[in-house]
Structure 1
Amino acid sequence: MRAGRRTIVGAFLLASVLAVTGCSSTESGSPLGVGDKPTGDTSGGEPQAKAKITADPAVDAKDVEVLKPIKISVTEGQLTDVSVTNPEGKPVAGAVAADKLSWTNSERLGYGKTYTYAAKAMGSDNKPVELKGSFTTMTPAKTIRATVNPTDGQTVGVGMPISVNFPDVAPKDRAAAEKALKIETTPKVEGSWAWVSPNKVDFRPKEYWPANTKITVSANLYGVNYGNGYGKADVTSKFTIGRNLVIKVNTPEHALKVFKNGALAATYPSSNGKDADPELNTPNGTLIVMTREPVGDFSNPKYGYTNVKKKWSMRISNHGEYLHENEENRANIGKNNTSHGCVNLYEADAKALFDMVLIGDPVEVTGSKANMPTTSEVNDWLYPWDKWKSMSALK
């Protein structure tokens, strides 16, 4: 009678041990080797295996963030086999460390997916153990998209900033967003990110970009927690800085000058914004060529003119300033400043300038009574360098 009862109790304990060793984690207590019995077992079985496998995320974990690393570790032994698979059964890329004590993934996880892992190890006592389980990643209530400018393959001027835009939702945690941004340049260039609006962070160099700089932008924003949503996708761009060309307009001189590599290359007579009225000045500041339009629409009912089209138009701000031809103002070009803020040129000169400029070429305006407000885009070069750096979320 007693012998039979002891056999039944031993079988019950063995079944209990097998049940807990098939699935264990850092959060579920110390795992056991397959077929092992707890320490202190009195049924006469084999002693407990020394090796213990743990996993993070834990078995059956829910709402795991997609950027959280998977780590499967072993103590008192070495890993012999690890596999982590996605819902389609495809392996998640990863590798066992050289010391065979841990495995980590090198592939990021997807939103709202269940991943399954299985790991085996050999203990220092030459007894095998294994761990099996699964976990599920989070499904965000909101994902936030981003864009980058310049885009792939462009060649732009030496004043061109790099912009990462969040057009739909401004990130609450700007530091988290900025930490995910990476700039690689050849040659190396000193620069800084700055938040120029709640929805946009720009990178500009301390000085103009060196000519022919190669730039790679990596905005690794997928899965980033902004505090009010998660990054929807990474965005990247590779582009090139062109030749060094800078446009200078000193408004009292009634002339636009083009400098290439620091040397004067061309001078074009101009008529600039009215000197007497600061509201109509061509404001002081370093701007950039933002757009190139063969024909621009300059209708402005506020000043009494509609359906006004001008050729070879180059926008330099969102404040209303352009470089463009204005043959109707020919009598004042090179002599008087009579425009409402634009730089008026002869048609032939405007065409010559239009053909040589790139988006991002700097336009330096001096001599006016008014300064360009920093509320106008593109405003990056209107800030002194120290002020610009202070606008980073990582300062």
Structure 2
Amino acid sequence: MKALRNARRLPATLVALGLAATLGLSACTGDPAPSAPAPAAGGSGSASEVSPAKLTTQPAAGAQNVAPGDPAKVTVADGQLQSVALTNPDGKQVAGQLAADKRSWTSTEALGYGKTYTWSGTATGADGKTVPLSGQFTTVTPKRQVSGTLNVGDAKTYGIAMPIALTFSSKVTDKAAAEKALTVETTPKTEGSWAWLSDTQVHWRPKEYYQPGTKVTVTAKIYGVKIGDGVYGKQDVSASFTIGRSQIVKGDTRTHRMQVIRDGKQIADYPVSYGLDSDPGRVTHSGTHVVMEKYPTYSMSNPRYNYTDVNVPWAVRISNNGEFIHGLAASVWAQGKKNISHGCLNLSPARAKEYYDGVLTGDPVEITGSTQQLSPKDGDYSDWTYSWADWSKLSALSA
């Protein structure tokens, strides 16, 4: 009781000071803030904010009339894929590749037309829970499938003017869609462009002649691509080839000569008889021709000029209008002096054989001096009759 009595005798000023200190402390700090909960392991924020796995399939579940040209894909957000299967109607799984981070899976084999595919599998979310993968989609059944054929072949060697031609089995109405599926890769890099020469044929040529030794790969990934109303590509086609040495034939109908320039050096200067210039039906056309094919013996016919089945040796076709470089013993007297042929370049059989042995499909043959000009109507390899500006405009993707 003594202590209590002493406490009651404390001066009023000391009591007041103690109370003021207590009140002052409360005014500066306020009430203590509640502490935030610790983040859940493996995520951010509170445990209630950790998200489950979110799966997305492409094509989407329930999709119909899917073009099978693009790969099927499944991706996951806030988690990882544990297993993925895409199964065709026969129960066979489509081959595919799981990404290293396990956040996506992409099919690596082509899907079929007119089939229903089923997804299955699982993913684990950041919340540790398993989410099932499910759903179906159906690919389109085409009204018609169109195939494509290339004029070049694997491991072949061609001349420096060789055009690439892709010919479709029927009319292409969506040329832009078809052209987007086409690629040409070259080493060294070579500027070039596609050009539609008809509704069924598209060509690619470089802006200038290829550099000798250029490696070329052309790919037409047209399978599954819609190229018309209900019309789809039937199969992909591709080829890898090489450009050989540079060889250019330069011929002048006025001098009755033909020079062969190989890798910048003249290796031959032959006397020639060109087509009779006074007759538009027999004249050899001026312009850049391209060697298309060659034959040891070829049968020539032209009923308009009263001859059929005339066999000539060492025939090299340079256009589709009947122009060849070939041997003809009967015109040796005129070669180097007069133009008397029906449009072909006549050489002696020995000289024709010499030229034949060194020629490549795709070699350019540049003719000058005649009254008639080579034009696009003169054949499939008339690509070089266009200026580069005009050629580029024939692309379905030109601006």
Which TM class, normalised by the smaller chain length?
0.7 to 0.9
Deviation, structure 1 residue 160: 0.9
Deviation, structure 1 residue 59: 3.6
- Structure 2: runs of 5 or more not aligned: 1-50
Deviation, structure 1 residue 218: 1.1
Matched, 1:346 2:348: yes
Match of 2:235 among 225, 233, 236: 233
Deviation, structure 1 residue 254: 0.6
The answer for the alignment partner of 1:379 in structure 2 is 382
The code of the aligned residue for 1:391 comes to L
Kept in 2: contact 1:271–1:345 (CA 8 A): yes
Q: Distance in 2 between matches of 1:86 and 1:193?
A: 37
The answer for the alignment partner of 1:368 in structure 2 is 370
Q: Secondary structure, in 3 states, of the residue corresponding to 1:253?
A: coil
Q: Distance in 1 between matches of 2:63 and 2:199?
A: 35
Q: Secondary structure, in 3 states, of the residue corresponding to 1:177?
A: helix
What are the Cα deviations for residues 42-95 of structure 1, in whole angstroms up to 9, with x where unaligned?
Answer: xxxxxxx95444434344443222134434344554433322223344433334
The code of the aligned residue for 2:284 comes to T
> % of aligned pairs identical?
49
Q: Distance in 2 between matches of 1:50 and 1:201?
A: 50
Deviation, structure 1 residue 312: 1.1
The answer for the alignment partner of 2:179 in structure 1 is 178
Deviation, structure 1 residue 298: 1.5
1:46-195 superposed matches below 5 A: 50-75=52-77, 77-96=79-98, 100-166=102-168, 168-195=169-196
Q: Distance in 2 between matches of 1:336 and 1:96?
A: 72
Matched, 1:388 2:366: no
Kept in 2: contact 1:279–1:370 (CA 8 A): no
Q: Distance in 2 between matches of 1:230 and 1:387?
A: 29
Deviation, structure 1 residue 139: 1.9
Deviates more, 1:60-69 or 1:306-315: 60-69
- Structure 1: runs of 5 or more not aligned: 1-48
What are the Cα deviations for residues 130-173 of structure 1, in whole angstroms up to 9, with x where unaligned?
Answer: 1323332222121000011211121111111111111x202111
Q: Distance in 1 between matches of 2:186 and 2:284?
A: 34
Matched, 1:315 2:294: no
The answer for the alignment partner of 1:331 in structure 2 is 333
The answer for the alignment partner of 1:44 in structure 2 is none
Q: Secondary structure, in 3 states, of the residue corresponding to 2:377?
A: coil
C-alpha distance 52-260 of structure 1, shift in aligned 2 (>3 A)? closer
What are the Cα deviations for residues 332-353 of structure 1, in whole angstroms up to 9, with x where unaligned?
Answer: 1110111121111111111111
The code of the aligned residue for 2:235 comes to A
Q: Secondary structure, in 3 states, of the residue corresponding to 2:228?
A: coil
Q: Secondary structure, in 3 states, of the residue corresponding to 1:280?
A: coil
Q: Structure 1 length normalisation: TM-score?
A: 0.82
The answer for the alignment partner of 2:201 in structure 1 is 200
Kept in 2: contact 1:299–1:309 (CA 8 A): no
What are the Cα deviations for residues 18-47 of structure 1, in whole angstroms up to 9, with x where unaligned?
Answer: xxxxxxxxxxxxxxxxxxxxxxxxxxxxxx
Q: Structure 2 length normalisation: TM-score?
A: 0.81
Q: Secondary structure, in 3 states, of the residue corresponding to 2:390?
A: helix
Kept in 2: contact 1:50–1:124 (CA 8 A): yes
The answer for the alignment partner of 1:38 in structure 2 is none
The answer for the alignment partner of 2:259 in structure 1 is 257
Q: Distance in 2 between matches of 1:197 and 1:248?
A: 30
CA RMSD, 1 decimal: 2.0
Q: Distance in 2 between matches of 1:98 and 1:331?
A: 76
Look at both structures and tell me which one has the larger radius of gyration over its CA atoms: 2
What are the Cα deviations for residues 169-194 of structure 1, in whole angstroms up to 9, with x where unaligned?
Answer: 02111111111111112221111111
Kept in 2: contact 1:152–1:237 (CA 8 A): yes
Q: Distance in 1 between matches of 2:78 and 2:263?
A: 66
The answer for the alignment partner of 1:30 in structure 2 is none
Q: Distance in 2 between matches of 1:75 and 1:357?
A: 60
Q: Distance in 2 between matches of 1:206 and 1:304?
A: 41
The answer for the alignment partner of 1:303 in structure 2 is 305
What are the Cα deviations for residues 193-216 of structure 1, in whole angstroms up to 9, with x where unaligned?
Answer: 111222111111111111121211
